[in-house]
Amino acid sequence: MDVPEQQNQVCNKVCSLQLTYKGLTEVPEYLLTDESYKALNLIYLGRNLISKLPENLGNLSALTGLFVNHNKLQFLPEAIGCLKNLDTLNFTGNELTSLPAAIGNLLKLQKLQMCNNKLSRLPTCIGKLSELRSLEVANNNLITIPVELSHCENLLTLNLDNNRLTFLPRQLRNLVNLTEFSAVANNLYVLPQDIGSKDTLHTLYVDKNERLYTLPSTVLGKEIGFYRCGCEPLSTEILEHFPYVKIQHTLTEKLPILLPPDIQHVCNMEQCVLPLSELAMRKVSTSLPTSDIIDSIPYNLSATLSCPLAKCEMCQDNIFLSGFPIVYKDYVKSAYILGMCCSLQCTKKCFHGTDNGLPVVYPRSEDLSLALVLVQ
C-alpha cells in the first residue's frame, strides 16, 4: 500500500493517526516501512476487518497507545512485546483465544483492554506488568485467574465480568491498591476470605453469581453488588468436593454454606481441636518475620505463610489451613456473611458482639457452649 501523500506530509507534525472505520483488512504497510511514521505515539485501528498483525510491528517502537479494537484478530504476534513504550493496549472485540508470553515485556503498560474475546486463560507473565493500573477482560471464557496477577500491585481496577470463573485465588488480597473489583455473571461459589481486607477497595460487584450464597466478612462496609446471587441450589457433586457447613435456612430447610477451597480442616463443635499442621504454621509464622527467610523454605509452605487463608474475626491472628467458620445473616443485603475464627474462645466472643453488629446463625450457641465444656 502506497503512503498517502497528505498523510506523508503531516505525519511528522502529529503524534497520532486515526484509521478507524476504514474497511482495512491489514495494517497499512507504509506505517511499518516509512521512516517518517516511526515517531507515532498513538494509532487507532478500531472498527476494521484486520485479521492479523504483522511480525514487524516492533518497527513502531515509539507507540504509547495501540487501539485495534473490534477487528477480526485471532492471535497476537510475539512482536507485540517489542512495543516497550506502550502504556495503553486495546484489543476489545476480537476473536483472541490466548495472549503471547511477550505481553510480559510491556513493562510500561498501564491499561490493558481485552473484553469481548474468547480468552480461556491469562498468561502467568501478566504478573510482570508492574505498572498496570487497569485490567479489563470481561466477556471472555476465563475459567481461572493466574496467581501471578497478584504481583501487579499497582492495579486499581479489575473487571472479570461475564466469564466462567468458579473460584478466585486468595493471593488477590495482595493487590494493595485495588479500588474496584467486578466479577459479575460468573460461576463463583465462594470469594477469597481476605479479598476486602485492604481499605483501598471501595467497590465489589459480584451480581448474578447464582451459586454464590455468602460474602466474606472483610467486604462489609464497602459498596457491594450482590443482586441475583444464591438463587441456584448447590449440586451434590459440588458438596462432595468442597468443604461446607450447614445452617438452618428456614424452619424446615438447612442450607450448605461453602467455605474457601484452600481450607484443609474445618473445625466445628464436634471436631474442635486444631490439627498440628495449623498450630505449626501459626508458630512458624511468628518465628519467620522477614520475607528473605520465607523465600528460603519450600515453595508450598512459603506460599501459605506469605498469604494466609484469613484473619480471625476477633483477634486478627492469621489462619492458614484450619479454622472455625462463623456465619452471620445480613438481612439488608439478603446475604450470609462468612467469617473465620482461630479458636473456640474467639468464636464465643463473636456471640457477644462484633463490629458488624450482625446476628450469628452458625454455630448455634448451645453447640458452642457444649464444645467449650468438653475441651476444658
Predicted pLDDT of residue 6: 40
Lowest-pLDDT range of 35-39, 84-88, 217-221, 338-342? 35-39
- When divided into structural domains, the chain yields a total of 2
Residue 42 and residue 19: Cα distance in Å, rounded? 11
pLDDT mean over 256-274: 84
Residue 344, H or E segment: helix 344-351
In terms of domains, do 224 and 305 share one?
A: no
In terms of domains, do 157 and 122 share one?
A: yes
pLDDT in tens, 72-119: 999 999 999 999 999 999 999 999 999 999 999 999 999 999 999 999
Total-model pTM: 0.91
C-alpha cell at 13: 507534525
Of the residues 230, 258, 286, the one at which a domain ends: 258
Q: If 0-12 CB within 10 Å is exposed, 13-18 middle and 19+ buried, where does residue 339 land? A: buried
Q: What are phi and psi of 89, to 5 degrees?
A: -135, 120
Beta bridge partners of 337: 215, 328
Amino acid at 254: K
Residue 281 has pLDDT above 80, yes or no: yes
The count of C-alpha atoms lying within 13 angstroms of the C-alpha of 272, restricted to the half-sphere facing its C-beta, is 19
CB 117 within 8 A of CB 138: no
Q: Residue 154 maps to which CATH number? A: 3.80.10.10
Residue 123 and residue 17: Cα distance in Å, rounded? 30
Beta bridge partners of 65: 42, 88
Contacts (Cβ under 8 Å, ≥6 apart) of 184: 161, 162, 205, 206, 207, 208, 209, 225
In terms of domains, do 318 and 225 share one?
A: no
Contacts (Cβ under 8 Å, ≥6 apart) of 151: 127, 128, 130, 174
pLDDT mean over 222-243: 93
Residue 327 and residue 247: Cα distance in Å, rounded? 8
Residue 333 and residue 184: Cα distance in Å, rounded? 16
In terms of domains, do 335 and 221 share one?
A: no
Of the residues 258, 280, 313, the one at which a domain ends: 258
In terms of domains, do 86 and 46 share one?
A: yes
In terms of domains, do 215 and 277 share one?
A: no
Residue 210 and residue 17: Cα distance in Å, rounded? 45
What three-state secondary structure class fits 86? coil
In terms of domains, do 212 and 358 share one?
A: no
Residue 353 and residue 112: Cα distance in Å, rounded? 44
In terms of domains, do 112 and 217 share one?
A: yes
pLDDT in tens, 165-185: 999 999 999 999 999 999 999
Predicted pLDDT of residue 291: 54
In terms of domains, do 167 and 23 share one?
A: yes
| pLDDT band for position 374 (cuts 50, 70, 90) | very low
What three-state secondary structure class fits 304? helix
In terms of domains, do 252 and 325 share one?
A: no
Of the residues 203, 233, 258, the one at which a domain ends: 258
Amino acid at 336: Y
* Structural domain boundaries enclosing 64: 5-258
Amino acid at 231: C
In terms of domains, do 236 and 283 share one?
A: no
| Pick from 238, 219, 251, 253: nearest CA to 335 | 219
C-alpha cell at 245: 457447613
Amino acid at 54: P
In terms of domains, do 195 and 276 share one?
A: no
Predicted pLDDT of residue 49: 98
